[in-house]
């Protein structure tokens, strides 16, 4: 009935898998939990191996890292049931009826997205504060907000989809590294008239990166954004790309780049402080995206 698919990279999934296993068992459904490790450090592999002892759970390790898109496609291919529930490995379940809330939609749906939230209180680590703050402000939306823009609000961290629908679209394996594979997948869903239903069934994103790591991932994601802009139109989907289009329209790319570089030290200092101004983060990203775009020409 339900295949729960979890790609793993450098994270302990024991608590998540045990919770999913207990809830699925209590729902008295046929289920499997497939966990595929994408060449994590041995430290995390050793922590996760024990989940294989749980019934209906399969934990497998890959010898080489294949990336965020390919590993999800591979999990879908390995699944045995027609309903696929994809979850990121760095998630926690805030609800005791998380699985039940998805199960009630299984008879009539295309895609169901549950959402993402963050802890109410900031992390103790100052290095992780920005990732938490950004997530609270830019990624954590209630179901009423998400319904207004169902495809734009879609992410691959927590969604239910029919296997046939997923395999007919698949995640683009040309997108390497971090970021925006879910943006392209959401656009493909829309192009194929696949209805995305939003419900109030979020997971908590607990895998907060340190500032430097998240900043580097963000820059990597900008390269992916530029890549998919040559594959599909992003004007109605990605706010940052709308800004880039305006910058190009008025031919102020070099000015924006100069401003971004001139303010870089101040921006980085602000973002690592107690009161990050996310507009400054946007400015820095637009400047970097403009620079990448000019390099492509």
Contact 286, 260 (CB under 8 A): yes
Assess whether 150 and 288 both reside in one domain: no
> Which whole-number Å values give the CA distances from 133 to 139, 287, 289, in the listed order?
10, 22, 22
Assess whether 46 and 186 both reside in one domain: yes
pLDDT given for residue 297 in this prediction? 60
pLDDT given for residue 227 in this prediction? 87
Assess whether 58 and 168 both reside in one domain: yes
pLDDT given for residue 120 in this prediction? 95
Give dist(CA 197, CA 109) in Å, integer.
Answer: 8
Output the domain CATH number for residue 147: 3.90.550.10
Domain boundary among 156, 190, 206: 206
Assess whether 146 and 23 both reside in one domain: yes
Assess whether 58 and 190 both reside in one domain: yes
Assess whether 257 and 164 both reside in one domain: no
Domain boundary among 206, 234, 256: 206
Q: Which two tokens stand for residue 7?
A: 């790609």
Contact 73, 171 (CB under 8 A): yes
pLDDT given for residue 229 in this prediction? 86
Assess whether 84 and 231 both reside in one domain: no
Assess whether 219 and 184 both reside in one domain: no
Nearest to 152 by CA among 198, 93, 85: 198
Give 50's DSSP letter.
G
Contact 95, 101 (CB under 8 A): yes
Contact 34, 8 (CB under 8 A): no
pLDDT given for residue 174 in this prediction? 86
pLDDT given for residue 240 in this prediction? 86
Question: In terms of residue numbers, what domain contains 61?
Answer: 2-206
pLDDT given for residue 239 in this prediction? 85
The count of domains in the chain is 2
pLDDT truncated to tens, each residue of the chain (297 aa)? 999 999 999 999 999 999 999 999 999 999 999 999 999 999 999 999 999 999 999 999 999 999 999 999 999 999 999 999 999 999 999 999 999 999 999 988 999 999 999 999 999 999 999 999 999 999 999 999 999 989 887 899 999 999 999 999 999 998 877 888 988 999 999 999 999 999 999 999 999 999 999 999 999 999 998 888 888 877 777 888 888 889 999 999 999 999 999 999 999 999 999 999 999 999 999 999 999 988 876
Assess whether 159 and 85 both reside in one domain: yes
pTM of the prediction?
Answer: 0.95
Assess whether 170 and 191 both reside in one domain: yes
Contact 37, 74 (CB under 8 A): no
Give dist(CA 29, CA 1) in Å, integer.
Answer: 7
Instruction: Name the 3-class secondary structure at 159.
Output: strand
Domain boundary among 206, 235, 258: 206
Assess whether 114 and 243 both reside in one domain: no
Assess whether 202 and 253 both reside in one domain: no
Give dist(CA 71, CA 62) in Å, integer.
Answer: 9
């Amino acid at each position: 009935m339900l295949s729960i698919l979890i790609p793993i990279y450098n994270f302990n999934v024991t608590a998540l898998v045990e919770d999913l296993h207990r809830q699925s068992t209590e729902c008295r459904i046929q289920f499997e939990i497939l966990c595929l490790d994408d060449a994590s450090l041995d430290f995390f592999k050793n922590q996760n191996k024990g989940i294989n002892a749980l019934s209906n759970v399969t934990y497998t390790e890959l010898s080489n890292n294949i990336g965020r898109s390919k590993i999800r496609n591979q999990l879908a291919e390995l699944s045995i049931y027609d309903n696929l529930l994809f979850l990121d490995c760095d998630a926690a379940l805030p609800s005791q009826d998380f699985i039940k809330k998805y199960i009630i939609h299984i008879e009539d749906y295309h895609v169901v997205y549950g959402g993402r939230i963050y802890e109410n209180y900031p992390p103790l680590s100052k290095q992780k504060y920005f990732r938490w703050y950004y997530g609270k402000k830019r990624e954590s939306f209630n179901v009423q907000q998400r319904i207004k823009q169902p495809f734009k609000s879609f992410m691959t961290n927590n969604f239910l989809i029919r296997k046939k629908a997923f395999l007919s679209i698949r995640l683009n394996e040309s997108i390497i590294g971090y970021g925006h594979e879910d943006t392209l997948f959401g656009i493909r869903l829309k192009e194929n008239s696949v209805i995305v239903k939003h419900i109030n069934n979020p997971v908590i994103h607990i895998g907060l990166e340190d500032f430097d790591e998240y900043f580097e991932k963000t820059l990597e994601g900008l390269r992916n954004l530029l890549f998919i802009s040559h594959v599909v139109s992003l004007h109605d989907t990605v706010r940052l790309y709308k800004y880039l289009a305006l910058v190009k329209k008025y031919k102020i790319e070099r000015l924006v780049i100069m401003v971004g570089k001139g303010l870089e030290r101040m921006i980085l200092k602000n973002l690592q402080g107690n009161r990050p101004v996310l507009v400054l983060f946007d400015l820095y990203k637009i400047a970097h995206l403009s620079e990448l775009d000019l390099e492509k020409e």
